[in-house]
Structure 1
Amino acid sequence: MGSSADRTHPGAAGRAPTAGQASRPEQIRNVVLVGHSGSGKTTLVEALALATGAVNRAGHVAEGTTVSDHDDIEHRQQRSVQLSLVPVEWGGIKVNLLDTPGYADFVGELRAGLRAADAALFVVSASDGPETLSGATRMVWDECAAVGMPRAVVITHLESARTDFDELTQVCREIFGGDSPESVLPLYLPLHGPEGPDGHAPVTGLTGLLTQRVYDYSSGERADRDPDPAQQPRLAQARDRLIEGIIAESEDETLMDRYLSGEELDLKTLVQDLERAVARGSFHPVLAAAPAAEGCKQGIGTVELLELITGGFPTPLEREVPPVTTPQGKPRSPLTCDPAGPLAAEVVKTASDPYVGRISLVRVFSGTLRPDETVHVSGHGLQDRGHEDHDVDERVGALSSPFGKQQRGVPHAIAGDLVCVAKLGRAETGDTLSAKDDPLLMEPWVMPDPLLPVAIEAHSKADEDKLSVGLSRLVAEDPTMRLEQNPDTRQVVLWCLGEAHVDVALDRLRSRYGVQVDAVPYKVSLRETFGDRTAARGRHVKQSGGHGQFAICEIAVEPLPVGSGIEFVDKVVGGAVPRQFIPSVEKGVRAQAARGVALGFPVVDIRVTLTDGKAHSVDSSDAAFQTAGALALREAAADCHIHLLEPVSEIRVLVSDAYVGPVMSDLSSRRGRVLGTEPATPGRTLVRAEVPEIEIGRYAVDLRSLSHGTGRYSREYARHEPMPPQLAVKLREQHQQETGAK
């Protein structure tokens, strides 16, 4: 990491960038906003855009759109469902603000934002309880800590009644600080005005702990003054704690001794050490934000936040470029954030525009991306989710910088910047863009595994014709979605992250791709097997003039141990079935086994023995004996009890220690067998269990509710085993009702 002296600060020499263009990586800050749904991330982005002059007081840019313009789906869903980029400019620095959805179902968009950013703002609502911090937000904080990403905390909704900044700051220190609570401290204290009729005193400004100045917004303009004498005791206590926290992270080992000896440390030294600690990711300042006063051009705390972003957050030069290889996996030398270096960029989001077509949001890590040049597209190892690997050349379309629903054209994008690229027809989220004569593949980021299935059917014949194209485009945009065409159940299944994810996917199919689909009950891939030894005869004899059909075979069927598959044994003697037709009988038996003999699920774990049969010198044929073999297996099933086998998965549940008991109890209620528990990370436990898949169709949703957002799980197929008789009876009755209705 470089020091603050290595970065371009507001007012530094050099051409200041517009909000859409930067000429050097030092002039860029990439910041992702993280927080639970309703914490105020989008409102904060709009306030920052207002403070920088990107929009007017009504939230409009000159062209008449708004920074918070969402697509129609977000308006209907009443929540953010996708990553959005808002570039602003402050003091010669281009700040790319990446607003992420707060709802857990869209964690894929959040991870894309983390990949594209160099620092994170955790937005915390003062009107919500601590549980919003100890759940999914804490998990994201830990992920950022694991990779050393710099973080700061912004407390919003301080205008709400019954909010306490000091109390919430203490909660942030306990939850985010972990073993180092003194690394999470406020830089400013909110200034409150007179109490209203409800007993609540609105926030009118901030008091800087290092500068010891009050930034008062009550007049409609940001003005600074000396603090009131009544503030001094609280201010002095908070200031001493902040200085001690900064000194603890300082690289200057003499600072603590000088401070303890009573020396007054100069403001410049403290600010520089603070910025270095923030950029290293070892100190996490807490700031406050509140709506702008009536007639004020700047929201409370926005200027202070922009000063932290431009002065304390790292430049792209201070972030390591993700490792790259050749598309064939051969290691390459590490890249740096150099506009003159080899081109290495990554698609972090894919969207469709009804007029422009596909638009790709791209982070350029190395080199310079220019319009109308041919690049190589490599990616991306998600074939199991319906995303094919890419290794093709494509021509780059126009480059643009987004703002609301507008796209402002830019001539190029340098290393460290974010840009929208039009008409990349093959590139999908997670793919690497590189020079066509020097193709590279960037190490992918971790995508959450979709574990909530929804089976869909086309609503009409017209929709059926468009369904395949619509689904392929849908999964191209969203790598957290998996498309499955199950050969056993003959269902088209979308695997999603949660119910809201499902709603958005079906909405996109309907509104964006013109495909109306119906959700139908999801079927688990069961198996059938014979419960007893039995024998049967398959007779296929037809004489209706001309060439007839004649084939008779007798078989014995016996069950085998689980996992044995299907064995076929020939014990025909005396040529009762000619040798050339024995493979035909086996083929017919296996084909019928694949189709099922009771509920239409494949038959497994049986031995079929061909014992006898008859043939005709003229009318016997391969097709006739295939039919006879299939008939024989069906006849055998009619005289035997057929067992249903259900798939069992081994699941691994990672959950906070406080919820281990409820999780284990819930697994037991799902007919699960807990195999054991073991400590994972501090405060979290890994629970291993085997659970029938039919019991965990909605487990992704139920676990989130049970663990208050702190739990996650993975699953892996283990085996099929017999289903309890009472459940098998219910399935048979349901099957009879469905087939009877048809």
Structure 2
Amino acid sequence: MQVDEVKNIRNVAFISHGGAGKTSLIEAILFNAKATKRIGSVDNGTSIMDFDPVEINRKITINPKLCSIEWNKHLLNLVDTPGYGNFLHETKSALSAVGGAVVIASAISGIKAETERVWNFADDFDLAKIIFVNKMDKERADFYRTLGDIEQSFGITPIPLYLPIGKEESFRGIVDLIKQKAYEYPSEPTAEFKEMDIPADMKEAVESQRNKLLEAISETDDELIEKYLEGEEFSEEEILKGIREATITKRFIPVICGSAVKNVGSKFLLESIIDFMPSPLEREQKVAKNKKTGEEVMLDPENKDFVAYVFKTFIDPFSGKLSIFRVYSGEITNDTDVYNASKDEVEKITQLYLLQGKNFVKTDKVVAGQIAMVNKLKFTETFDTLCSNKKESCIIDPVPLAEPVLSFSLVPKSKEDEEKVSTGLHRLMEEDLGIRVTRDEQTGEQILSGMGQMHIEVVTEKLKKKFNVDVDLKTPKVPYKETIKISAKGQGKYKKQSGGRGQYGDVWIEMEPNERGGGIEFIDKIVGGVIPKGYIPAVEKGIREAALEGVLAGYPLIDFKVTLYDGSYHSVDSSEMAFKIAASMAFKKVAMEAKPVLLEPIVNMDIFVPEETVGTVIGDLNSRRGRVQNVEPQTTGQHITAQVPMGEILKYAPDLRSMTGGRGMFTIEFSHYEEAPSHVVEKVKEQSKVEQQ
């Protein structure tokens, strides 16, 4: 599978909401291109694109998959992407490596929130688009209603190239508005169809829609405008050229219709990808930065220096690490050393592969514009840049991804599995950049963060299937802290006599509030040797260790000054341990007299919601004790900024999804600590008692 010229390559991602039929459509295309002998099915687990055991079990796409096929002397790299909200960070990564997108619109459900999000991702990367209206054979399918939904959702005028013959159960073919021909399909999903007359009841609709198409095409060229105004016919070549120009420049979005499971329209989609989508020579040049100078470099596919960008990593139990990359200039062959400019390391390329879902196809060479895979690179990770020339190396900026929004405490069901869990999570983080794993120093919990409930569940499912470890998920503890509000003084005296040498330590301390963020300051004001200098560090240590457990609810007490100003010792019975215990006793006594308070963490939230849900979301934030700081209009809705107690939003992701119909997004970042209200203090103290018991 070798391509002769870069102009004959097309790199296209299939995008939409989950369940619209992306994977099924690619399965039909693979069958048409004779890459498979039968059309795989997502429902019965025979799809060659969704081959991960977790994907087969859940019947959804979780990771982007690549299939490379030949069609009419062109090489097409088609990327199947996730459509469910928890995995759209993977879709965004994949879109960074292609030049066009096929947007699947369901003729039943139309445009959903996730389709709007991935459409915006495609706009971010300035991708050309074609829309395929799928599921025309299903109950409640309506082509024209879907066109209206597309226009309303995306603010564009969709221009059909094909119209459906019949609908729902009676859907049996399509009319080609370019060639003015009709095609009837058999009930079985073969690659065959036969030409037929345009149905009489469709001639008026065909004429109307063809005129819209020709009018839209005429606007791409001054000569075509003249011909159109004078009523002259366009040649087929002029029509195809006009659609291509309009698609690449995004003047309009062409629309095709069909049924993936019945294999209706998929061949025409293939031809449209070749005819209308850009090659790597058109609108696909990538901007990089010279590693030494930082100057921007435009990567030219015709340049001989090899530059490639890794946009996806898989961890395979048998093949090891698999790195999928897009070549932007030059070419690469087997048994070649390359320089990883992102890691400043040299890697060995042993065997190159093209992919057809789960099938690897060996290849000797990969040229500019192609997408390929290599395994067992030691240092390379997702978003790294590979180069042939170290002296003139460059780096392609990584794709900015949203931060995780939902966290759980991860607890292995067996203590013996702790190391296996850590190893498994590390490998999964290489594969999925939406995962974060941290250790909360205060609570000691291992925190797993992801893009939503399903994302977290998938991670734990992969841990079990790939690494054979079971874990429990628990809501993480809120990292409350404590502090004091006034000054107080007091004594801590530890005296123990039980025969033989005893224990004796006696300290007097004063505690006072420190400025927020000032930490713990220890001041030694002992004079006259009432406490020997050798015991002073033990006093400080006793106070700092006691502060870790606070005095209200077991949380660290912070931001205070403590002055050691008096005490006494015994020449025989005193010891470092005795003074450490005395200091701890003094701390607990004095801190309780210094009006201790509970501090709760406050986070900054950036929330993006549709216009019609702003009131609901703001009302919900108020109920969570949030303070809305600003509401700013955006092109697709409203941007709300707010400060909210962390304890109120531990499970905010599913709530926001419910309030906004899946269209809301948010990010959070820690801001500061504030004194918690009395009802929160009582609740936290009660929880602390239960945990201690």
Shorter-chain TM-score range: over 0.9
2:217 is the alignment partner of 1:246: yes
- 1:358 maps to 321
- 1:227 maps to 198
Q: Deviations over 1:612-654 (max 9, x none)?
A: 1123456656565444333321333455653211000121212
Q: Using the alignment, how far apart are the partners of 2:562 and 2:286 within structure 1? A: 56
Task: Say if 1:23 and 1:414, in contact at 8 Å, map to a contact too.
Answer: no
Return the match for 2:273 from 288, 305, 309.
309
Residue 326 (structure 1) shift? 4.8
* Structure 1 residues 326 and 268, CA gap change in structure 2 (3 angstroms): closer
Residue 700 (structure 1) shift? 2.1
Return the match for 1:280 from 246, 249, 252.
249
Q: Using the alignment, how far apart are the partners of 1:545 and 1:318 within structure 2? A: 92
- 1:368 maps to 331
Task: Say if 1:456 and 1:519, in contact at 8 Å, map to a contact too.
Answer: yes
Q: Using the alignment, how far apart are the partners of 1:324 and 1:624 within structure 2? A: 64
Residue 733 (structure 1) shift? 1.6
- 2:165 maps to 191
Task: Say if 1:107 and 1:448, in contact at 8 Å, map to a contact too.
Answer: no
Q: Deviations over 1:293-334 (max 9, x none)?
A: 6xxxxx211121011101110111223443323556733532
* Structure 1 residues 736 and 290, CA gap change in structure 2 (3 angstroms): same
Task: Say if 1:186 and 1:242, in contact at 8 Å, map to a contact too.
Answer: yes
Residue 436 (structure 1) shift? 6.5
Residue 463 (structure 1) shift? 0.3
* Structure 1 residues 398 and 206, CA gap change in structure 2 (3 angstroms): same
Residue 46 (structure 1) shift? 0.7
Q: Name the SS of the counterpart of 1:474 in structure 2.
A: helix
Q: Name the SS of the counterpart of 1:317 in structure 2.
A: coil
**1:557 maps to amino acid:** M
Task: Say if 1:67 and 1:86, in contact at 8 Å, map to a contact too.
Answer: no
Return the match for 1:33 from 7, 10, 14.
14
Task: Say if 1:65 and 1:404, in contact at 8 Å, map to a contact too.
Answer: no
Residue 583 (structure 1) shift? 4.6
Residue 145 (structure 1) shift? 2.4
* Structure 1 residues 616 and 395, CA gap change in structure 2 (3 angstroms): farther
* Structure 1 residues 462 and 553, CA gap change in structure 2 (3 angstroms): same
2:88 is the alignment partner of 1:100: no
Q: Name the SS of the counterpart of 2:215 in structure 1.
A: helix
- 1:10 maps to none
Residue 186 (structure 1) shift? 0.5
Q: Name the SS of the counterpart of 2:529 in structure 1.
A: coil
Q: Using the alignment, how far apart are the partners of 2:301 and 2:361 within structure 1? A: 24
Deviates more, 1:112-121 or 1:69-78: 69-78
2:145 is the alignment partner of 1:174: no
Aligned residues: 686
**2:230 maps to amino acid:** S
**1:47 maps to amino acid:** A
Deviates more, 1:303-312 or 1:391-400: 391-400
Q: CA RMSD in A?
A: 2.5
* Structure 1 residues 242 and 558, CA gap change in structure 2 (3 angstroms): same
**2:480 maps to amino acid:** L
TM-score (norm 1): 0.87
Task: Say if 2:97 and 2:311, in contact at 8 Å, map to a contact too.
Answer: yes
Task: Say if 1:452 and 1:697, in contact at 8 Å, map to a contact too.
Answer: yes
Alignment of 1:397-416 (within 5 A): 397-416=350-369
Task: Say if 1:50 and 1:57, in contact at 8 Å, map to a contact too.
Answer: yes
Task: Say if 1:31 and 1:97, in contact at 8 Å, map to a contact too.
Answer: yes
Q: Using the alignment, how far apart are the partners of 1:291 and 1:664 within structure 2? A: 41
Task: Say if 2:383 and 2:397, in contact at 8 Å, map to a contact too.
Answer: no
**1:55 maps to amino acid:** T
2:443 is the alignment partner of 1:489: yes
Deviates more, 1:591-600 or 1:237-246: 591-600
**2:430 maps to amino acid:** A
Q: Using the alignment, how far apart are the partners of 2:457 and 2:103 within structure 1? A: 27
Alignment of 1:311-710 (within 5 A): 311-327=275-291, 330-331=294-295, 333-338=297-302, 341-379=304-342, 390-435=343-388, 437-438=390-391, 439-540=393-494, 550-560=504-514, 562-579=516-533, 581-617=535-571, 625-637=579-591, 642-681=596-635, 683-710=636-663
Q: Using the alignment, how far apart are the partners of 1:636 and 1:680 within structure 2? A: 53
- 1:722 maps to 675
Q: Deviations over 1:90-147 (max 9, x none)?
A: 10111111111110000121012201211001101111155x1xx2312322332243
Residue 174 (structure 1) shift? 2.5
Q: Name the SS of the counterpart of 1:174 in structure 2.
A: helix
Task: Say if 1:572 and 1:610, in contact at 8 Å, map to a contact too.
Answer: yes
Q: Which runs of 5+ in 1 are unaligned?
A: 1-17, 194-199, 294-298, 380-389
2:236 is the alignment partner of 1:267: yes
Task: Say if 1:148 and 1:280, in contact at 8 Å, map to a contact too.
Answer: no
Task: Say if 2:323 and 2:375, in contact at 8 Å, map to a contact too.
Answer: yes
**2:375 maps to amino acid:** A
* Structure 1 residues 327 and 705, CA gap change in structure 2 (3 angstroms): farther
* Structure 1 residues 357 and 501, CA gap change in structure 2 (3 angstroms): same
Residue 524 (structure 1) shift? 1.4
Q: Using the alignment, how far apart are the partners of 2:468 and 2:292 within structure 1? A: 38
Q: Using the alignment, how far apart are the partners of 1:267 and 1:395 within structure 2? A: 49
Task: Say if 2:110 and 2:150, in contact at 8 Å, map to a contact too.
Answer: no
TM-score (norm 2): 0.93
Return the match for 1:258 from 207, 227, 237.
227
Residue 735 (structure 1) shift? 1.5
Q: Name the SS of the counterpart of 1:360 in structure 2.
A: strand
- 1:382 maps to none
Q: Name the SS of the counterpart of 1:334 in structure 2.
A: strand
Q: Deviations over 1:400-423 (max 9, x none)?
A: 122243212111221111112111
Deviates more, 1:588-597 or 1:360-369: 588-597
Residue 360 (structure 1) shift? 1.4
Task: Say if 1:320 and 1:336, in contact at 8 Å, map to a contact too.
Answer: no
Q: Using the alignment, how far apart are the partners of 1:90 and 1:494 within structure 2? A: 44
* Structure 1 residues 434 and 599, CA gap change in structure 2 (3 angstroms): farther
Q: Name the SS of the counterpart of 2:244 in structure 1.
A: helix
Q: Name the SS of the counterpart of 1:374 in structure 2.
A: strand
- 1:197 maps to none
* Structure 1 residues 575 and 397, CA gap change in structure 2 (3 angstroms): same
Task: Say if 1:322 and 1:443, in contact at 8 Å, map to a contact too.
Answer: no
Q: Using the alignment, how far apart are the partners of 2:80 and 2:377 within structure 1? A: 23
* Structure 1 residues 37 and 292, CA gap change in structure 2 (3 angstroms): closer
Residue 206 (structure 1) shift? 1.1
Q: Deviations over 1:446-480 (max 9, x none)?
A: 11211110110122122013222122111111111
Residue 58 (structure 1) shift? 4.8
Q: Using the alignment, how far apart are the partners of 1:391 and 1:461 within structure 2? A: 38
**2:646 maps to amino acid:** E
* Structure 1 residues 654 and 443, CA gap change in structure 2 (3 angstroms): same
* Structure 1 residues 610 and 455, CA gap change in structure 2 (3 angstroms): same
Return the match for 2:119 from 100, 117, 141.
141
**1:240 maps to amino acid:** N
Alignment of 1:98-177 (within 5 A): 98-130=79-111, 132=112, 135-176=113-154
Deviates more, 1:578-587 or 1:648-657: 578-587
Q: Name the SS of the counterpart of 1:43 in structure 2.
A: helix
